[in-house]
Structure 1
């Protein structure tokens, strides 16, 4: 039985038990009447209600924790899907749009130079071909006679010739024949500077060669241009015949290019697919110090490179990681290809390890470019720098803290193996500044052939392939030798020398 609560005195201090709050009183059972005499009973039942509420909250908390765990799992799944979609998006963007290459060497900032009014005006030609005067006798407004002339000024206009002036000329040669009593033979006079067994002249040959190998036009467009500009009708067969005669006229230059490439100090090489008829073939490009040679072969084997450069080639070969170039002693592997492989690997699945190796390779390549930009380095410093970078490539797995039993798959291990295997062939450009760290030289040289392949899909026969490789090699080499000049006079000189030698 409950008794009335009385004050408790402890150490002469009175402790008073307060009544229940109003909110707690409302939750008491009906048989418990709230008054001052049963405070202990009230607190007992209030404590029971609080314990029930606590258990309800605990159950609700566990349910919320389970729901939160399910939500976190769903979020992680969505994040993985987002990463996959982002990698696909980046891959498609790389296929559609060319990436802007970052400038790895920090250049000094400069203030742009303000252009003057004269800089927007076309430059005055050095020679004037024709002089014309503009005079008036009467005023164009009132038709009255004009008085004496006040002054005059000059105006220069540059224009291409009229169609009538560009019209092709038809030249008829009367060829005389004579009898030699001494030789007892009939001697025939030969027309000078005329292609043998051809109804078309030298200028037409040069125009076809320039249109084919410099402008990369198809045979249809070449025929249309010749007919439109010069009123000269030619057929596909005649164009093919002119290309063959150009190949014969370029033979001496072609042999010179072959020897120049073999004795070049550096030679950048690349290859692309080609067609000879319906059979698949390969077009190779070899860019030396002073010449560019193209060769078309039915194989992509190492024998092609050995034939072009020679088995005992003493220079340095700039190339990618294709095994056909392993036969040469001195090689510089392409850094751009290596960085591209690392970048593509991160695009598929940008894990921590893949990003680490990509960033490490980028920093090494930037270090190489910065070191090559210095002009005051000695050969000893270059050799030491090459040795340092070689050690970094050999230990790149340790530097990037990548475990050998990594879960990232074989692709990451392939890049690590490339760095270890070709570490010595990736630093030749550090000890020898004449060697480039990338193979863009060969890729730019092979670009014209790729454009022509898109138009013609290759060569129709093996003979056509030989003509194509000879003419393209000579034209591209002549363009390298005469960068700021017209190559028409140079090509014409080669043709005239061929005719003078009895071709």
Structure 2
């Protein structure tokens, strides 16, 4: 089958010989035409590579400490089993990591996990044991998670967003802090600026991409933090005026919408400008026109006045991306990172206590960060759980900038 109309055909690259577990050659036992003897030729026919699940996909082991008699000491000595073996217990590190992967990345409930273990792996396991395994994965991710939290206040560019979180009928908030190569999630009972202070500190020196929510305003006012308000949210507010029953609001909204389209047109045509200076001048011109129309041509209505006041008091925070390299004009990065959380919330119906919150914070952080860094979530979980069972140093999620 080829690609969809308008798209190039895509074929996966074949597995290399080193990746094959078996290679089968198919022969005739005799000539299909005359039934005579055949000799191998240089020509090869069709090759099919096939991936299959083993009939028994798990390995069951038994470890026994053998008692040994010393005739000289007249004593029986029983060796101590390795700490990592005793700490893991019934389920080994890779299978423990798989439970974490299925629970976190695949949104599986404990009931679905039990069915998977029973029907696919051929192992019966209780819900209580599955909860213990998830707890072990949670503990194994503590150090990598805290290391990223400690990095957040040092970033020069961050995008932040928040969404609701359910817990036993109470409403909490999931905060998402997205840097270039990692993302951190925090669940808090508060949606206020105190979360920003606790996470980023009072001396945060970077630029925060965010929406127009009041917590960010307070953080900016109290500590002089630089913000980049999301232009995509601004466009939605302008479209509200376009659809308003008041004719003057409609005209005002259409005027600002045309200015915003002109601004984004400049951004999207960046490569067509002869030099960066020409591009910068075009951006500044589009910005000036938008601010002028927003502040000087607003009709006498409450809706238009509120929008005009945004530009009078926060115009710089809408256009920080023009003067600061690496700043995005929208908050799409954080919104994309928090979409996974919204899906998880709908499927799982939230958490029941602190253990569940810690699990969500850490596994979401691992999943999103590994995605940004092009790493395997499952292999990272395997490394983290193995290190935890061995009491070794945990693997790092800190970006490699070397």
Short-chain TM bin: 0.7 to 0.9
Q: CA deviation at 1:220?
A: 2.8
Q: Which residue of 7, 14, 24 maps to 1:124?
A: 14
Please state how far the C-alpha of 1:188 moved relative to its aligned partner.
5.6
Of the three residues 152, 176, 188, the one matched with 1:285 is 176
CA deviations on 1:274-310 (whole Å, 9 max, x unpaired) are 1122211111111012210111111111111111112
Residue pair 2:370, 2:377 contacting (<8 A) in 1 also: yes
Task: Give 1:340's match in structure 2, choosing from 220, 230, 236.
Answer: 236
Helix, strand or coil at the partner of 1:164: coil
CA displacement at 1:432 relative to structure 2:
1.2
Are 2:382 and 1:495 aligned? no
Higher-RCO chain (CA-CA 8 Å, sequence separation at least 6): 2
Measure, in 1, the Cα distance between the counterparts of 2:231 and 2:88: 51
State the distance in 2 between where 1:425 and 1:244 align: 42
Q: Does 1:471 align with 2:363?
A: yes
SS at match of 2:228: strand
Q: Secondary structure at the match of 1:171?
A: coil
SS in 2 for 1:285: strand
3-state DSSP of counterpart to 2:195: helix
Give distance in 1, aligned partners of 2:32 and 2:79: 65
Cα pair distance change 1:419/1:163, threshold 3 Å: same
| 1:425 aligned counterpart, secondary structure | helix
For structure 2, list consecutive stretches of 5 or more residues without a partner in the other structure: 70-76, 394-402
Contact (CA 8 Å) 2:263, 2:283: kept in 1 or not?
A: no
Compute the displacement of 1:197 (Å).
5.5
Instruction: Name 1:224's counterpart in structure 2.
Output: 115
Counterparts of residues 13-32 of structure 1 (less than 5 Å): none
Provide the rounded CA distance (Å) in 2 between the counterparts of 1:304 and 1:172: 48
Query: Cα–Cα, structure 1 residues 463 and 124, in superposed 2: closer, same or farther, change >3 Å?
Result: closer
Deviations 1:295-332 (A, max 9, x none): 11111111111111122111111000111112131100
* Aligned pairs (5 A) from 1:368-383: 368=264, 370-371=266-267, 373-374=270-271, 376-378=275-277, 382=280
Number of positions where the alignment pairs a residue of Structure 1 with one of Structure 2: 371
Greater Cα offset, 471-480 or 369-378: 369-378
Query: Structure 1 residues 129 and 362 mapped into 2: Cα distance closer, same or farther (>3 Å)?
Result: farther
Please state how far the C-alpha of 1:457 moved relative to its aligned partner. Answer: 1.3
Deviations 1:373-411 (A, max 9, x none): 258325x9859955972674265242x3x443x4xxx22
Partner residue in 1 for 2:399: none
Q: Which moved more, 1:346-355 or 1:240-249?
A: 346-355
Helix, strand or coil: the match of 1:196? helix
1:304 pairs with 2:201: no
- In structure 1, how many angstroms separate the alpha carbons of the residues matched to 2:63 and 2:78? 16
TM-score (norm 2): 0.81
In the TM superposition, residue 158 of structure 1 has moved relative to its aligned partner by 2.9
Q: Which has the larger radius of gyration?
A: 1
Which structure 1 residue ranges, 4+ long, deviate > 4 Å from structure 2? 112-115, 119-122, 138-141, 176-179, 380-388
In structure 1, list runs of 5 or more residues that go unmatched. Answer: 1-111, 180-185
1:228/1:285 CA distance change after superposition, 3 Å = same
User: TM-score scaled by structure 1?
Assistant: 0.66
